[in-house]
């Protein structure tokens, strides 16, 4: 039985040998380790990414706890003075042009309050407090308590940034200013708000995309998507990445169910971290409850029975039923009705969750006309979404469904290796073949029975 190697992404083995899968995942993480952080992928994403690092730290906690803490420290060393944690921290040792858009495009050096290292100016979902708590919980020690104490004020500042400057809608939820901030770049959820962003595909002639050198262009966002991504960064950068008055000037402002779920999960984790480090957990618990209530109030559709992003430009919910809408299940305090509705949604033919799954969980409603099984976040199955849902199922005591999803997650890697994403019908590996969070989250589910 061959289980492949990290370099080839562990080519098809169909091995349910947990030991071999464990070794493949560790080898993948070791192969992506880069002096003080882990790259999501050596080819496609050669720098440090914010939410990737959080997921990766969770996996590293099982095998390389020192590195897990280093990962989080490196990321938070690049935190901006206003509390934002940038979505990319660029590795200065890499040649210009190894990734588009690179440091010159973001031009963070010009902005007061940006760190010495070059970063992007936008964010990703705040899953870091949860990661820090899980890393500590895996093996509590003096060292891990010291790391938590170092991170705690930084994590609090990160929450303040999102719930303060980014509460554009004024209802207690954070808004995203770019689809990349959701982490689900080209999800159908962003189609309507993005269509309203003026952009000309011809602007892409001035730039060179690198993603399509390493991945099939038919799987990636289109050039028109990229033209809009570039236009949005241009607009945000032109305002010095400031957030005051965004409502009056920025063309894309959306309240995302996933990012705000992460925001609530972070307050739960901060309450635990506060208890452990001698701070007061009470305010974090209250904020977790307020964020959960705001999510239900603002983003839940009781008729359709799922959560949707709210487009602040139109004031309306975006109708697409994507996996983003399932993510609030991860919140332990979600009320019974939305919990029941999300379980029904996840188990419907749209997503096919079951105690014995016959296909992987897709990132978009597989019955929708715009479902695309090969294109990135428009259909393929992703392990980070699976993992968040798996945690939610356990939080709400659906251990039968959690076990089914865990089996499906393990099957995906056993069949195809540590790919970035997977075909939602066949489970075939797609995108980068040796992807960090796929390896890391596999370790986490293998470790929990
Ligand atoms: C843009 C690194 C990142 C992930 C995102 C994923 C993809 C970048 C890109 O890769 O986004 O941030 O170039 O497509 O969508 O979730 O963090 O793995």
Instruction: List all residues whose CB is within 6 A of at least one atom of ligand 1.
Output: 40, 45, 49, 51-52, 87, 180, 183, 185, 211
> Would you place residue 8 in the very low, low, confident or very high pLDDT band (cuts 50, 70, 90)?
very low
Return d(Cα 158, Cα 45) in angstroms, integer.
24
Determine the average pLDDT of the residues in 315-331.
98
Distance from residue 327's CA to the centre of ligand 1 (Å): 18
* 71, 82, 147, 185: the active-site residue: 185
Say whether pLDDT at 329 is over 70: yes
What is the mean pLDDT of the segment spanning 205-227?
A: 90
Choice from 44, 180, 256 to test ligand 1 binding pocket (greatest atom count within 8 A of CB): 180
Rounded to an integer, what is the distance from CA 28 to the centroid of its chain? 19
* pLDDT value of residue 420: 98
Report the pLDDT value the prediction gives residue 214, as an integer from 0 to 100.
Answer: 87
**Ligand 1 geometric centre to CA of 65 (Å):** 25
Res. 13: pLDDT tops 90: no
Instruction: Note if 420 is an active site residue.
Output: yes
Burial label for 307, CB within 10 Å (0-12, 13-18, 19+), is buried
Task: Please write down the long-range contacts of 398-406, taking CB distance under 8 Å and 24 or more positions apart.
Answer: 398/343, 400/355, 401/343, 401/346, 401/347, 401/353, 401/354, 401/355, 403/355, 404/353, 404/354, 404/355, 404/356, 404/357, 405/353, 405/357, 405/361, 406/445, 406/448
Distance between Cα 233 and ligand 1 center (Å): 15
Cα–ligand 1 centroid distance for 153 (angstroms): 27
Residue-level pLDDT at 2? 32
Most distant pair of Cα atoms in the chain: their distance: 60
Mean pLDDT of 372-401: 98
Among protein residues, the one whose CA lies closest to atom 14 of ligand 1: 185
Tens digit of each residue's pLDDT (9 = 90 or more) over 50-82: 999 999 999 999 999 999 999 999 999 999 999
Name the residue of 71, 183, 386 to mutate for ligand 1: max ligand atoms within 8 A of Cβ. Answer: 183
pLDDT digits (tens, 9 = 90+) for 389-416: 999 999 999 999 999 999 999 999 999 9
Identify the pLDDT of residue 16. 66
Tokens of 92: 């200065």
pLDDT higher than threshold 90 for residue 3: no
Q: Residue 11: what pLDDT?
A: 38
135-158 pLDDT, tens digit per residue, is: 999 999 999 999 999 999 999 999
Given this model, what pLDDT does residue 205 score?
86
For the entire predicted model, the pTM comes to: 0.96
Residue 281: CB atoms within 10 Å: 18
Mean pLDDT of the chain: 95
């Amino acid at each position: 039985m061959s289980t492949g190697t990290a370099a080839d992404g562990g080519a098809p083995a169909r091995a349910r040998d947990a030991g071999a899968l464990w070794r493949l995942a560790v080898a993948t993480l070791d192969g992506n380790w880069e002096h003080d952080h882990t790259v999501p992928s050596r080819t496609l994403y050669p720098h440090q990414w914010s939410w990737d690092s959080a997921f990766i730290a969770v996996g590293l906690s099982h095998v390389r706890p020192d590195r897990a803490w280093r990962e989080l420290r490196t990321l938070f060393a690049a935190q901006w003075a206003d509390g934002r944690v940038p979505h990319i921290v660029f590795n200065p040792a890499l040649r210009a042009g190894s990734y588009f858009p690179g440091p010159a495009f973001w031009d963070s050096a010009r902005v007061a309050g940006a760190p010495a290292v070059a970063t992007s100016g936008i964010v990703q979902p705040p899953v870091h407090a949860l990661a820090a708590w899980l890393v500590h919980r895996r093996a509590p020690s003096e060292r891990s308590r010291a790391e938590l104490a170092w991170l705690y004020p930084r994590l609090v500042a990160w929450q303040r940034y999102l719930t303060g400057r980014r509460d554009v809608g004024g209802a207690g939820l954070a808004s995203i200013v770019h689809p990349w901030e959701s982490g689900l770049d080209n999800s159908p959820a962003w189609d309507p708000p993005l269509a309203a962003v003026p952009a000309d595909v011809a602007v892409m002639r001035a730039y060179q995309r690198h993603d399509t050198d390493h991945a099939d262009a038919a799987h990636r966002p289109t050039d028109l998507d990229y033209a809009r991504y570039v236009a949005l960064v241009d607009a945000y950068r032109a305002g010095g990445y400031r957030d005051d008055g965004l409502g009056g000037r920025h063309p894309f402002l959306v309240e995302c169910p996933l990012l705000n779920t992460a925001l609530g999960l972070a307050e739960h984790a901060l309450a635990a971290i506060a208890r452990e480090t001698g701070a007061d957990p009470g305010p974090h618990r209250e904020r977790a409850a307020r964020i959960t209530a705001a999510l239900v109030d603002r983003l839940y559709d009781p008729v359709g029975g799922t959560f949707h992003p709210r487009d602040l430009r139109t004031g309306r919910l975006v109708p697409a039923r994507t996996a983003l809408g399932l993510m609030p299940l991860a919140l332990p305090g979600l009320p019974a009705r939305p919990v029941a509705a999300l379980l029904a949604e996840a188990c419907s033919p749209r997503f096919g969750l079951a105690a014995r799954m016959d296909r992987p969980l897709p990132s978009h409603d597989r019955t929708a006309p715009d479902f695309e099984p090969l294109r990135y976040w428009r259909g393929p199955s992703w392990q980070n979404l699976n993992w968040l849902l798996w945690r939610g199922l356990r939080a709400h005591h659906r251990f039968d469904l959690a076990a089914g999803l865990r089996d499906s997650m393990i099957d995906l890697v056993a069949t195809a290796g540590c790919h970035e994403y997977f075909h939602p019908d066949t489970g075939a590996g797609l995108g980068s073949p040796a992807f960090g969070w796929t390896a890391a989250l596999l370790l986490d589910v293998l470790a929990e029975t």
